[in-house]
Amino acid sequence: MIAKKMKTLVVAGGIFSLSLILSACGGLSQAQIAELNSLRNEVMSLEREANSLKDERAKLEKQIEETNRKLAECQKQKDETKANLEKLPK
């Protein structure tokens, strides 16, 4: 997870650094600079989407945990009720 984030940051930083170096040397056209900026924006957008999905996953995992806790409590109550019913005289 952290490795992916670092990789993305390195790629974005590399693209940005490359664009600075090449533009300083006069090696990039305006179209290439625009393309690099577009790619950088796309990387940032994908990072935001990944973070949003991670947040959503954490939320869903929390909901699953809560549901499982409730199910375990229901099962416990069911078992207790069954045991109490078996103790009643017939």
Higher pLDDT, 27 or 37: 37
pTM: 0.56
Domain ranges, ordered by start, for the chain:
2-87
Mean pLDDT is lowest, of 23-32, 62-71, 72-81, for 23-32
Residue 19: how many other CB atoms lie within 10 Å: 19
* Residue 78: half-sphere exposure toward Cβ, Cα within 13 Å: 6
The predicted pLDDT at position 11 comes to 72
Nearest CA among 37, 5, 11 for reference residue 23: 37
